[in-house]
Amino acid sequence: MLVSFLITPRSSVGQFVIESLSTLHYNLYDSSPIFIRRVPLVSVLSGSSISGVRLYSSAPPSNPPADCATLLPGPSVLANTGVHRASPSMFYLPGMRSLPFWTAPSSSTGERGRRIAFGDRVVGEVVAEAEAHWEKIREEYLNGVRGGFSITEDYGDSEGHASLHEGSWEWHSFLKGGVPANRSGEHGDISYVCPIATKMILGGEYNGGGFISQHLFKNVPFGYAFFSTLGGDSSIKPHCGPMNLRLRIHLPLLVPRNSEGNLNASCGIRVGGQVREWEEGKAIVLDDAYEHEVWNKTSGERVILLFDIWHPDVHPDERVRIVEMFRYAKDQGWIGKK
C-alpha cells in the first residue's frame, strides 16, 4: 500500500506541516523530493504558498498536533544507476546509518560470535535474545499454531499487503499495526499457546520481558511481529518498506534444505543487491527501506518469527514525537482505521 503526505506550506522558505497522509507522491515528487528534518519534530502552522509546488486546496487542521513533522524540499534523486539505496515509500529520516543487512552471514561468525554491523549494542542484544529462545519458540509454533489449537491466520486482514505475494503466505500475529493483536486469553489466542514468544516480544504486561520488548517498534501503525509462513512455490514481490525508522528481524524456525541437507538457494531473500539464505536459529537483521524480495521455490514451508524494532539511531525523544504524530494522523482518519 502506497501511503504518502498531503502538506500545507508554512512560509516561502519551504517548510511544511503534515495535514494528511494521502497524496505527497502525486504532488511534490514532480517538483523535488522531500525529507524529514533531522531535528526534534516541531509544530508548524500554515502560511504562504511556495512557487513551483502544486498543492491540494485543503484547509489546515484547526488544532495541529503538538509534535507534527517539518518537511523540507531536498535535492534531486539520482535514479537508474543500478546502485541500491534505502528508498522508503512514505517517510524518510536523514542522518541514520543504513545497510541492507545488519548481520553478517553465518559463515562469517568468528570467535566473538555473530558479527553485527557497526558493532551496534542494541542490535547485538536483540539478536542474542532472539537466538537464545529460538528452539522453544519453534516448539510453540509447531505445537500451538500447527498443533491442535485453532489459531486464526490473519494475513488477509492486513490492509495493503495482499497484492505483494504469489502462492501461499500466512501470518499469525503478536503485534499488528503497532498494537498487540486481538487476544482472548483462551486456546484460540496466540499469546496463550505461545507464551515464550509473547513475553519476548511484548514484554511488560507479560511479567517482564527483555531487551526486545523495550525496543519493539510499537504504537506506530507500521510495527509488526508475527509468524511468517511462506508456502512452497511461493514468493513476495520486490518492494520497499514505508519508512527507515525501523529495522526488521527474521528469526528462522523452519527452513527447507536441499537434497544434501545444506542451505538452499531456492529459498532466500534479497535486500538491495545482497542475497541471503536463512539458517534455522540464526537471526537476520535487515533494513526493509531497501528494495527487497523473498522466494521459496521448494516444496516445503519456510517459517520465521518476524518482528520490528526501532532503528537504533532514532533518539528516545524522537520516538515519542513520532508516535504522537502518527496517533494524530490516525485519529484524523488519514491513515489506517480509527
291 against 188, higher pLDDT: 291
Instruction: Please give the mean pLDDT across all residues of the chain.
Output: 75
Residue 126: count other Cβ atoms within 10 Å of its Cβ. 26
The reported pLDDT for the residue numbered 196 is 93
Give tens-digit pLDDT for 13-24: 333 333 333 333
Q: pLDDT-based confidence at 70, cuts 50/70/90?
A: very low
The reported pLDDT for the residue numbered 4 is 34
Rg of the Cα atoms in the chain: 21
The reported pLDDT for the residue numbered 27 is 29
As a whole-number percent, the residues of the chain with pLDDT over 70 amount to 64
Give tens-digit pLDDT for 34-56: 333 333 333 322 333 333 333 33
Let me know: does 136 contact 118? Beta carbons within 8 Å. no
Q: Which residue segments constitute the domains of the chain, with CATH numbers given?
A: 117-156+165-332 (2.60.120.330)
Map grid coordinates 527474521 to a residue: 250
141 against 8, higher pLDDT: 141
The H-or-E segment that residue 36 falls in is: strand 34-36
Measured between alpha carbons, how far is residue 55 from residues 4, 19, 48, 64 in Å? 14, 12, 11, 18
Q: Which triple of cell numbers denotes residue 304?
A: 520465521
CA distance linking residue 249 with residue 224, whole number of Å: 10
**1 Cβ contact partners less than 8 Å away, ≥ 6 residues apart:** 159, 160, 161
Q: Which residue, among 134, 70, 86, 176, has the nearest Cα to 283 in the 3D structure?
A: 134
Taking the chain, what is the end-to-end CA distance rounded to the nearest angstrom? Answer: 17
CA distance linking residue 192 with residue 186, whole number of Å: 6
Average pLDDT over residues 141-168: 75
77 against 55, higher pLDDT: 77
223 against 205, higher pLDDT: 223
Question: If DSSP states are collapsed to H, E and C, what string results for 81-139?
Answer: CCCCCCCCCCECCCCCCCCCECECCHHHCECCECCEHHHCHHHHHHHHHHHHCHHHHHH
Let me know: does 117 contact 283? Beta carbons within 8 Å. no
Give tens-digit pLDDT for 206-260: 445 689 999 999 999 999 999 999 999 999 999 999 999 999 999 999 999 876 6
CA distance linking residue 205 with residue 193, whole number of Å: 16
